[in-house]
Amino acid sequence: MTAELRPTRRMLMGPGPSDVHDRVLRALSAPVLGHLDPEFLALMDGIQQMLRGLFKTENRMTMPMSGTGSAGMETCFVNLLEPGDAAVIGVNGVFGGRMAEVSERCGATVTKVEAPWGQIVPEDAMIETIRRVKPKVVGLVHAETSTGAWQPVEAIAAAAREVDALLILDCVTSLGGCPVEIDAWGVDAAYSGTQKCLSCPPGLAPVTLGDRAMAAVAARKHKVQSWYLDLSLLANYWGGERAYHHTAPISMNYGLYEALRMVFEEGIEARHARHRLHHEALYAGLQQIGIGLANQEGHRLPMLNPVEVPAGIDEASVRKELLERHNIEVGAGLGPLKGKVWRVGIMGASCSANHVALFLSALENALRSRGAKVGAGAAAAAMQHLEAAETAAR
Ligand SMILES: Cc1ncc(COP(=O)(O)O)c(C=O)c1O
C-alpha cells in the first residue's frame, strides 16, 4: 500500500504558491456540481463579476481560464498573434523571456527590450521601440516574480495605443497585491494566476480582454493553433448560450470564488495597503541586521522580495534549514540572481506579522550559526515598524 496523503502545513513564503486560507480549503472540498448545472453557472457569473472588479475593468471577456498562469499567458498571445505579426516584449527576468518564447512559437517576429535582472524595463527604450517597430502586440510583465521588479505601465500603454498595438500585461503576481487598473491604464489583455496574492491553489488563470483585443481575435486570418485556448470558441460558453466547450474544473472554481469573496471582504485597497506595510516591515527587519534587497529602489514589489545572500553563505543550506526546522518555504534566485538572493514572498494569506517575524528570526539565526556577521533584532525591528504604523493610523 502506498502511504496516506499527509502533506505538512508549511508557511509558503516563496514566489508562489502562497498559503491557502482554511475557508478556501473548505470550499475546495464542497460537493461537486455538474459544469452546466444552473447553480454552478451562477457561481461562474459571480467569479466573472468579482474578477472584473479586481482587474478594474468593464471587459465582457473576463474569466478564469482552466490552467495555471502560463495558460493565461498563452491565451493572450495565441489569440492575438498570428504568423508574421510583430511583437515588442520587455524582458528583465524569466517571465518576459517566456512571453518572447511564446510569441515566437506563434510565428511572430519578436523585438526584445531588455534590462538587467532586478531593474524595470526602461520606459523610454520601450516607447522608442514601439514607435519604431509599430508591432501588433506589446508584452510587459507588471510584477516580475523572478526579480521583484515593479514595472510602471501607463506610459508604455499610451505608446502602444499611439501605434494601434495591443498591450498584453502579465499580472500573475500583482493581482490582489498591488493596484491593477486595466481600463484606466488602457491595457488590452491581461492574465493572472490563482496561487499568488489570491491565495488559492494553482490551477486557474484569470484573464481579461477588451474590445480592441476581441476585434483582433474576430479579424484573424488563421484559426488559433490551440483549440483549448481559442477565445472565439470559449465565448460560446461564457456568452448567453452556455454551450459546452470543456469541462470546467469545478472544485478549483469553488476555491477561486471563495478566495475572491475574501478579497472583497477585506477591500482591494486595504489588501494592497497590507502588502505594502508588511513589505516595509520585512525591509526594516532586514536592514536591522545589515541585509539588502537586490531589486531597483523605487520599483520594489511589496509581495516579492529578492533578499541578498551575505557573502560566503551557501543559500541552499539556509533554505533547507528554514524548510526542515521551521516549515518555512522561500525561493531560490534564478538566472543571474542564482545563489545571490532568496526570493521571499509575502502574498495573500502569507502576508502577515507572524510570517514576517518567523521568517526574520529564523533567517537571523541560520545566518549567525553559519558565522555570518549579522546584527541582531530583525524580527523586533519589523514588529516595531508594524506597531508604529498601527499607532499612526489610530
Ligand atoms: C509573472 C509570472 N508570469 C507567469 C507565471 C506562470 O504561472 P504558472 O507557473 O502558474 O503557470 C508566473 C509563475 O510564477 C509568474 O510569476
| 140 CA from centroid of ligand 1 (Å) | 13
Q: Which atom of ligand 1 is nearest to the CA of 193?
A: 10
Q: Residue 319 and residue 314: Cα distance in Å, rounded? A: 9
Bigger pLDDT: 242 vs 55: 55
The model's pLDDT over 347-392, given as tens digits with 9 standing for 90+, comes to 999 999 999 999 999 999 999 999 999 999 999 999 999 999 999 9
Distance, CA 70 to ligand 1 centroid (Å)? 6
User: Measuring from atom 5 of ligand 1, which residue has the nearest CA?
Assistant: 69
Ligand 1 mutation pick, 172, 178, 200, max ligand atoms within 8 A of CB:
172
Tell whether the model's pLDDT for residue 240 goes beyond 80. no
CB 41 within 8 A of CB 242: yes
Looking at the fold, whether 254 and 107 belong to one and the same domain comes out as yes
CB 155 within 8 A of CB 127: yes
Give the residue carrying C-alpha cell 521571499.
344
Are residues 190 and 43 part of one domain? yes
Span 234-260, average pLDDT: 92
pLDDT at position 243 is 86
Give 306's contacts (C-beta < 8 A, 6+ positions apart): 118, 147, 148, 293, 294, 295, 333, 337, 341, 342, 343, 344
Instruction: List, in order, residues 6 or more apart from 388 with CB less than 8 Å away.
Output: none
Residue at which a domain ends, from 231, 265, 299: 265
Give the range of the structural domain holding residue 67, as residue numbers without chain letter: 21-265
CA-closest candidate to residue 65, choices 253, 276, 336, 333: 253
Q: Point out the domain boundary residue: 222, 244, 265.
A: 265
| pLDDT score, position 78 | 98
Counted domains in the chain: 2
Is the preceding omega at residue 116 within 30 degrees of 0, hence cis? no
pLDDT in tens, 217-235: 999 999 999 999 999 999 8
* pLDDT tens digits, one per residue of 252-303: 999 999 999 999 999 999 999 999 999 999 999 999 999 999 999 999 999 9
Q: Is 1 a domain residue?
A: no
So what's the pLDDT on residue 238? 86
Cell of 232: 472565439
pTM score:
0.98
Distance CA 68, CA 205 (A): 5
Measure 315 CA to ligand 1 centroid, in angstroms: 23
The secondary structure of residue 293, as a DSSP letter, is B
* Same domain assignment for residues 222 and 74: yes
Ligand 1 lining (C-beta closer than 6 Å):
15-16, 68-70, 73, 95, 141, 145, 170, 172-173, 193, 202
What distance in Å separates the CA atoms of residue 252 and residue 146, rounded to the nearest whole number? 26
Average pLDDT over residues 61-78: 98
239 and 281: one domain?
no
Across the range 13-41, mean pLDDT stands at: 97
What per-residue confidence (pLDDT) applies to 93? 98
| pLDDT given for residue 19 in this prediction | 98
Q: In angstroms, rounded to a whole number, what is the distance separating the alpha carbons of residues 304 and 314? A: 21
Q: Pick from 70, 147, 195, 305 the residue to mutate for probing ligand 1's pocket: most ligand atoms within 8 Å of its CB.
A: 70
Q: Is residue 8 part of a domain?
A: no
User: Is the domain of 140 the same as that of 288?
Assistant: no
Share of the chain above pLDDT 90, in %: 97
The domain that contains 296 carries what CATH number? 3.90.1150.10
